[in-house]
Structure 1
Amino acid sequence: MSKTPERSLTGDDDVKVEKVSADPNCEDEASGIQTLNMFVRTRTDSGKPLSDMEILEQVTVLNLDTGEQIPLSIAEDKLPQCLNPLSLHIMRLTSDLEKDKESDNESVDSKKTYNTQLDNVSDGDSVSLRKKTSQLKKFLGSKVRRTVGRAKMMAQEVSLPGRQKEEMIDIPDELTGGEQHVKMKASSSHKGPYEFDTLQCVQEMHGEHLGPIWCMKFSPCGRLLATAGQDRILRIWVLKTAFNHFQDMRSRCNADSKSSPTPSQESLVSQHSVEDPVAAIIAEKESDPRSPFVERPFCTYVAHTSDLLDVSWSKNYFILSSSMDKTVRLWHISRKECLCCFQHIDFVTAIAFHPRDDRYFLSGSLDGKLRLWNIPDKKVALWNELDGQHKLITAANFCQNGKFAVVGSYDGRCVFYTTEHLKYYTQIHVRSTRGRNSKGRKITGIESLPNEDKILVTSNDSRIRLYDLRDLNLSCKYKGYVNNSSQIRACFSHDGKYIISGSENQYIYMWKTHHDYAKFSSARRDRNDYWEAIKAHNAVVTSAVFAPDSHSLIEQMERHRREKEEEKASSLSGDALMGGASSGNGYVLVSADFNGCIKVFVNRVKPKHSSLPVSAMS
């Protein structure tokens, strides 16, 4: 929320606070007041002095998500719930921008009027005003600090608007075959058949992350999962079937580095954070055979000094992590130390390895600059700056196999640059043509549709949009989930058939990318509210992703389960543990929430409900 001026100038006692700076002894105080950009009254029309609370009620703040003006006296109760520190920082930046704009747009006549009224104020009133505004400044400072502190710790449930509640219906139990372990919902327009009615929760990992998980991403091979968030630690999880492979890789690397010089302090910190492989093996043997991941992180990396906002994998197991500490750090799964640190001017909100040449990566920052880094040279190869009033980059990625770099902005624009020279190419305004979403909202995620010239854009108007890059037209808009102030981003399944997203109402939402509208005569092809959702968490679902190679993962889980059965000479059948199917067809979903909990789900595809290939539905 940003502070906006409340002009109320009626009577001789109404003055512009920021003008009380003629006395050299109060220049610092007046300068501080000027930064608040507020106009307040200190007396009533009858001359009675106003109390601090009455003065505070004149000051309003703007909820950037709803446009609502709120008196500061009640702003604490009106703050969006589960607000992340990135949103708080963006609010502060946009507040400064709004104040600058207000100052630039102030007319000369208004300034003369304010100066005339200031001249009419007596010296006694000036002293009283300075004293009153000083008290107000102190009161506001403590109030804002308490508000920000509470907002960062919020993790309460955000209720759905009434319209969305009415759209939700329970999926009948008979459709789930009695194997459903999670609460399912679907939109009222979605009458079935359902795609995710066989979802089962097979693993829950909690107690490692302290606080919200802001980002989560699989390695391209699908055997490693990186998670990071508020606790400043990057954690890497490994599949049970791949543990020995990566442990051998790490052992070989450690053997090669024994003769290396004394490690740096940063290296020592990371070494202490790496999990004991023996303890990991013991935990793996005692875990549920259905669980695909080793129960404890394969490794943890400690170097960042503030929240991590994004992660990116290369094909050969290098990892990039970006943070609110204004740095990007490079790691490798076989190494314990940070390999390189790339310094920025402001928070780094998005990073992405070049899809064809992992010597380069893209970074987007709140300083408005898009940078293409050369990793071997450890410097910026190319850069460009976002234009417009709000030069805040909140999302970034490559598209068309690295041909273009695309960034998402705070004011709802997707701007394309040619990767070769990082020159401006074109842009899309992500917004509705009319209604409350006609003003662009913050872009939180950008992802390319596999094997097609389309991108998926997530924004803070609770909409996900699919754009065709051939003509920049909107192909489809996906509705149903709640994303008003979070950094939630949607993503595709490995085959591009489905879209998944977390939500502020504690649900995980799924849509078919290309819905079969032929049987719905009145349906619009650019709208898709045929969603399915599961109530899987007790807090905001901050991230949800599909595993890249779900089929192989399900087969590995099934094979691992059989091996466990043979070792333990168990009498349990495959049907009892995994729903009876031996096929690897299906999808694996992973979600994370505001409380640091990670859950893994398996959805086996039934042959009669299998979807057409994407190419056949395009």
Structure 2
Amino acid sequence: MDKSVRLWHVSMNECLRVFQHNDFVTAIDFHPLNDKFFLSGSLDEKLRLWNIPDHKIADWVHVHEMITAACFSSDGNTVAAGSYKGKCWYYEVRDKKFEYLTQVDVRHTSTSKVRLTQVDVRHTSTSKSAGDKITGMQFLPREPRKLLITSNDSRIRMFDGYKQCTKFKGLKNLNSQIHAQVCSQGDYIICGSEDEHVYIWSTGRSCIPSINPAYTGFRWDKRHCYECFPAHEDIVTAALFAPDSVRLVTPQVLSPDAATGQTRAGHALLNPDAAKKLNQVSDDEAAFEREVAQAAVKAASALGQVIISAGYSGEVRIFENYGMPAWL
């Protein structure tokens, strides 16, 4: 909020360089392949690419709205910037220069309408939306086409190219600058919340095939199934997965029975007769049980995962994923 970006090295007591801006700096991101460059977004409506050794701006672009989030794709070829009004801009980075690609402005309505150059990122209902500011953005580590967007309508949305493919629900994010992050393998999404919890969702990479002919499998467009745990006594402002290199234990290989024994859908994974019975339930019930079973099977591989969270008061806590989740 002092209108600067400060560069530090963990082994030194003083910052190496200060990069001045004209207004509050709301987003920064290192170039994923060349750490001599970083990206910054500011409330002065400008997106900047900085050259660290030369201590100057390599390129900048005026987006004409206050920037509240920005990030590089994993290959460094694309930049996305999100605004206070819920809009997203895509730029190609070529020879350290920004080249405009398109604008995405997504609005959730009862009748979905998607346009290639304008898709609105807001959730609307009969009452006035609590807010649509984009609070965080991240491209998936191994899928540079996919972008995760967190916004102040308590939604996390995944875009494939310029089209929304999945929406994640469960967290509370109405006023905070909370943003979701993806683990290094791309299997899980994690995010803090204003209700003092940390939330975790499974991405499409962590699905298993459906055994119910009446149900096609994991529901891609909406993700209601999540895990959560109380982390702080105030707003969880940040949550992330630690690298696999610091995993505390080797994940145990659990039998499918241990992972899925508490749902009919779980039994159906191993028992053909149970699969036939599952086909007799309603589509909604089958879909719910399928989603629970899929999450349970994948949860076994997440044992030993280390999670770091920070609260509004400044406290940092470290958690280990120990044991299977408790079903509610």
TM-score (norm 1): 0.39
What is the total number of aligned residue pairs between the two structures? 251
1:434 Cα deviation after fit: 3.6
Change (3 A) 1:402 1:595: same
SS at match of 2:41: strand
Quote the offset at 1:602 in angstroms.
0.8
Displacement of 1:395 in angstroms is: 0.3
| Cα distance, 1:429 vs structure 2 | 1.5
Distance 1:517 1:478 in 2: 20
Please give the secondary structure, in 2, of the residue aligned with 1:554: coil
Question: Helix, strand or coil for the counterpart of 2:8?
Answer: strand
In structure 2, how many angstroms separate the alpha carbons of the residues matched to 1:334 and 1:586?
29
Q: CA deviation at 1:513?
A: 0.8
Q: 1:370 to 1:528 in 2, by over 3 A?
A: same
The structural deviation recorded for 1:460 is 0.5
* Superposed CA offset, 1:61-107 (max 9, x none): xxxxxxxxxxxxxxxxxxxxxxxxxxxxxxxxxxxxxxxxxxxxxxx
Q: For residue 321 of structure 2, give the secondary structure of its aligned residue in structure 1.
A: strand
Instruction: Indicate yes or no: 2:77 matched with 1:403.
Output: yes
2:146 corresponding residue in structure 1: 454
CA contact (8 A) 1:517 1:525 kept: no
Contact 1:384 1:423 in 2 (8 A): no
Q: How does 1:357-506 map to 2 (within 5 A)?
A: 357-387=34-64, 391-420=65-94, 421-434=97-110, 437-438=123-124, 441-452=132-143, 453-469=145-161, 472-506=162-196
Q: Are 2:86 and 2:151, in contact at CA under 8 Å, matched by a contact in 1?
A: yes
Corresponding residue to 1:535 among 230, 249, 255? 230
Change (3 A) 1:406 1:552: same
Shift of 1:597: 1.9
Mapped to 2, the partners of 1:384 and 1:541 lie a distance apart of: 32
Normalised by the size of structure 2, how large is the TM-score?
0.71
CA shift, 1:584, in A, is 9.9
C-alpha spacing 1:507/1:585, structure 2 compared with 1 (3 Å): closer
For the residues of structure 1 that align with 2:52 and 2:231, how far apart are their CA atoms?
39
- Secondary structure of 1:495's aligned partner: coil
- What does residue 554 of structure 1 align with? 248
Q: 1:400 offset after TM fit, Å? A: 4.3
C-alpha contact (below 8 Å) 1:326/1:343 kept by paired residues:
yes
In the TM superposition, what is the alpha-carbon distance from 1:401 to its structure 2 partner? 1.2
Deviation at 1:506, TM superposition (A): 1.0
Residues 321-360 of structure 1: pairs in structure 2 closer than 5 A: 324-360=1-37
2:267 alignment counterpart: none
State how far apart, in whole Å, the 2-side matches of 1:521 and 1:405 are: 37
Aligned to 1:561: none
> How much does 1:482 deviate?
0.5
Q: 1:587 & 1:430 partners in 2: Cα distance?
A: 33
Letter in 1 for 2:109: T
Structure with greater proportional helix content = 1
2:32–2:74 CA contact under 8 A, matched in 1: no
Structure 1 residues 44-123: aligned runs within 5 Å: none
Does the 8 A contact of 2:188 with 2:203 survive in 1? Answer: yes
Compute the displacement of 1:335 (Å). Answer: 2.0
1: CA distance between counterparts of 2:51 and 2:175?
Answer: 33
1:555 is displaced (CA, Å) by: 4.6
SS class of match (1:503): coil
Give CA deviations for 1:20-76 in whole Å, capped at 9, x if unaligned.
Answer: xxxxxxxxxxxxxxxxxxxxxxxxxxxxxxxxxxxxxxxxxxxxxxxxxxxxxxxxx
The structure with the largest alpha-carbon Rg is 1
Question: Are the structure 2 counterparts of residues 605 and 429 from structure 1 closer, same or farther at C-alpha, using a change threshold of 3 Å?
Answer: farther
Instruction: State how far apart, in whole Å, the 2-side matches of 1:538 and 1:594 are.
Output: 9
CA distance in 2, matches of 1:342, 1:495: 33
Q: Which fold has the larger relative contact order, with Cα–Cα distance below 8 Å and residues 6 or more apart in sequence? A: 1
8 Å Cα contact 1:412/1:443 also seen in 2: yes
Q: Shift of the alpha carbon at 1:536? A: 2.3
Preserved CA contact (<8 Å) 1:481 1:509: yes
Pairing partner for 2:239 from 527, 532, 544: 544
Distance 1:594 1:357 in 2: 32
Q: Which residue does 1:591 correspond to in 2?
A: 309
* 1:347-366, Cα deviation, whole Å (9 max, x unpaired): 00001111111111110000
- How far apart are the structure 1 equivalents of 2:190 and 2:34? 28
Percent identity, please.
Answer: 48
SS of 2:248's partner is helix
Q: Distance in 2 between matches of 1:516 and 1:584?
A: 15
User: Measured at CA, do residues 517 and 467 of structure 1 come closer, stay the same or move farther in structure 2, by a change above 3 Å?
Assistant: farther
Aligned to 1:78: none
Q: Is the 8 A contact 1:374 1:381 kept in 2?
A: yes
The CA RMSD measured in Å over matched residues stands at 2.4
What's 2:272 paired with? Answer: none
Match of 2:287 in 1: none
Superposed, 1:263-342 pairs within 5 Å as: 324-342=1-19
